[in-house]
Amino acid sequence: MLDPKFVLENPELVVKKAAARGVEINLDEVKEFSREKKNYLQKAENLRYERNKASQLVARKKREGEDPSSIISEMKEVGREIKLLEERLKEIEEKQRKILLTIPNIPHESVPEGKSSEENVEVRTYGEKPEFSFQVKPHWEIGKKLGILDFERASKIAGSRFAVYLGAGARLERALINFMLDIHTAEKGYQEVIPPFIANEKSLLGTGNLPKFENDLFKLRGYRWYLIPTAEVPLTNFYRDEILEADSLPKRFVAYTPCFRREAGSYGKDIRGLIRQHQFNKVELMSFSLPENSYQELERLTQDAEEILKRLGLHYRVVVLCTADLGFSGAKTYDVELWMPHRKKYMEISSCTNCEDFQARRANIRFRREAKTKLEFVHTLNGSGVALGRTVSAILESYQEEDGSVIIPKALRPYMNDLDRIT
RNA sequence: GGAGGGAUGGCCGAGUGGCUUAAGGCGGCGGUCUUGAAAACCGCUUUCCGGGUAACUGGAACGGGGGUUCGAAUCCCUCUCCCUCCGCCA
């Protein structure tokens, strides 16, 4: 959520910035509500002042054995008026909050303007596109042939957009999880977390998934619970409604979790293979940062995600998302995109985002600089470090051999019982 | 699933309708003392929203929501969460 004060003081800017994202918003109501609010609030406060004074008088009279009944009957009416005003205030505040919750974050000044993902800007690449002397196969064919991926049985068990990993395939997935967690914890200073894979409404409101994007989520029938679409949700809400000490920042966490997404409206997109699943594994990085350091932290987070791909010897590029492609809560996002040899295209493997204080304001995560200074909102950052299923696909395709076998990247072999090749 | 007990400021904790402007402690900050430090002592120390250049000043918040009352941390209803015991369970 944006700072309501900021929105009221800079309505043109907010509208303009939302438009750059392709989102049309109207702030007339918000302005009107705040005018009304002020009016009612003043009236209510004056009446309360009156009542507080009268209350003290009643108490004194009673103590001194005098009759306070004239004041009491007078205050009866005042009490009714206050209640009416309070009701109206609550209504207005709720309406205003509802609107404010649907306004997207303001993109950072360094974010390029654009109308679609086509206008994302490449900032760097790593490695080279692998060359093949034979016809490259897609990962789902490789996986099926090796007996390590089974999509048919997955759809029997659950439905489409699910996968079964078998044998060396399951082992590969598990090896990658451990590999990533080890690097992030032992080398990069993140604290490992295993959070709940289910989150409540407040948590999803905190990250910005609710109220606008409920259709992307799996909701548990009969409960106010959702399956998490990313570990960003439990990790961000770890400190919801808490006050942190400034010198404890940044706080960096890493979590492996499954992620669950409805993928409603993505029919026909990426229907084959592991690319777009209802359930996938992800190692997620999260950082709570001082505002003045958050952009430096974003660079660091992105590099930590890249480190995984470098060690796996995979070719990738980093793009900065343009205004139109930026997510709802983000102020700036770097996508790390892996090269997919079969498709001959780059594919998102990690999304590293600085949400600034947008989520912190929703989730009420603050910090104190010194004993007597005002509380401020932290900046929250998250990034995949990295997504598992897509990494497996890229490994299968990039390291495939003509005979259908797949070489295991050197860095992973210690995690695979020194297996060097899946045959 | 059943029975009972709880939720109070950064933390702990007192408070059963108006002398509460939320006691007291811890922690934090400042001071006295000291060559310095510790101890001791003294003072300050919740957050949010308004008004004011400021000193200051008004209001709100005792888990969330609702109710009773002139007046609620305190009484009633309801929801959430935590704890204890019983049952079930990896």
The tens digit of pLDDT for each residue in A381-409 reads 999 989 999 999 999 999 999 999 999 99
Calculate what percentage of chain A has a pLDDT beyond 90: 67
Nearest nucleotide, CA A77 to C1': B70
Nearest nucleotide, CA A225 to C1': B80
| pLDDT score recorded for residue A369 | 81
The integer distance in angstroms from the CA atom of A24 to the C1' atom of B67 is 42
Nearest nucleotide, CA A58 to C1': B18
The integer distance in angstroms from the CA atom of A83 to the C1' atom of B77 is 19
pLDDT digits (tens, 9 = 90+) for A128-144: 999 999 999 999 999 99
Chain Cα centroid distance, residue A199:
13
Long-range contacts of A85-94 (CB under 8 A, 24+ apart): A85/A40, A85/A43, A85/A44, A85/A47, A86/A44, A88/A40, A89/A37, A89/A40, A89/A41, A89/A44, A92/A33, A92/A36, A92/A37, A92/A40, A93/A33, A93/A37
> Nearest-CA neighbor of A416 among A194, A399, A219?
A399
> How far apart, in whole angstroms, are the C-alpha atoms of residue A37 and residue A401?
69
> How far apart, in whole angstroms, are the C-alpha atoms of residue A167 and residue A148?
6
Cβ of residue A62 near strand B, that is under 7 Å?
yes
The integer distance in angstroms from the CA atom of A365 to the C1' atom of B74 is 31
**Does the interface ipTM go beyond 0.90?**
no
> How far apart, in whole angstroms, are the C-alpha atoms of residue A340 and residue A392?
11
Tokens standing for A109? 């000044």
With tokens 């102020």, the residue in question is A331
Cβ of residue A243 near strand B, that is under 7 Å?
yes
Nearest nucleotide, CA A47 to C1': B59
The integer distance in angstroms from the CA atom of A90 to the C1' atom of B65 is 12
Nearest nucleotide, CA A44 to C1': B59
What are the per-10-residue average pLDDT scores of chain A (423 residues)? Answer: 88 92 91 88 89 86 81 87 88 88 94 94 96 96 96 93 96 97 97 92 91 90 88 94 86 96 83 92 96 96 98 97 95 97 95 95 87 83 95 97 96 96 95
Residues 372-391 of chain A sitting with CB below 7 angstroms of strand B:
372, 374-375
> Nearest-CA neighbor of A298 among A193, A365, A380?
A380
Mind telling me the catalytic residues of A? 261, 276, 348, 351, 390
Q: Cα dist. A19→A11, A97, A114, A359 in Å?
A: 12, 20, 11, 21
Query: Phi and psi at residue A128, in whole multiples of 5°?
Result: -125, 155
Tokens standing for A291? 């505002």
Cβ of residue A41 near strand B, that is under 7 Å?
yes
Amino acid letter, residue A171: R
**Which nucleotides of strand B lie under 7 Å from a protein CB?**
10, 18-19, 27-29, 45, 47-50, 58-60, 66-67, 69-71
The integer distance in angstroms from the CA atom of A192 to the C1' atom of B82 is 25
Nearest nucleotide, CA A242 to C1': B10
The integer distance in angstroms from the CA atom of A38 to the C1' atom of B48 is 15
Residues 342-371 of chain A sitting with CB below 7 angstroms of strand B:
371
Sort residue A236 into left (φ over 0), alpha (ψ -120 to 50) or beta. alpha
> How far apart, in whole angstroms, are the C-alpha atoms of residue A207 and residue A328?
10
| pLDDT score recorded for residue A53 | 86
> How far apart, in whole angstroms, are the C-alpha atoms of residue A280 and residue A388?
7
The integer distance in angstroms from the CA atom of A230 to the C1' atom of B20 is 47
Tokens standing for A262? 């409805």
Q: Are A21 and A323 spatial neighbours (Cβ–Cβ below 8 Å)?
A: yes
Cβ of residue A79 near strand B, that is under 7 Å?
yes
CB atoms within 10 A of CB A6: 12
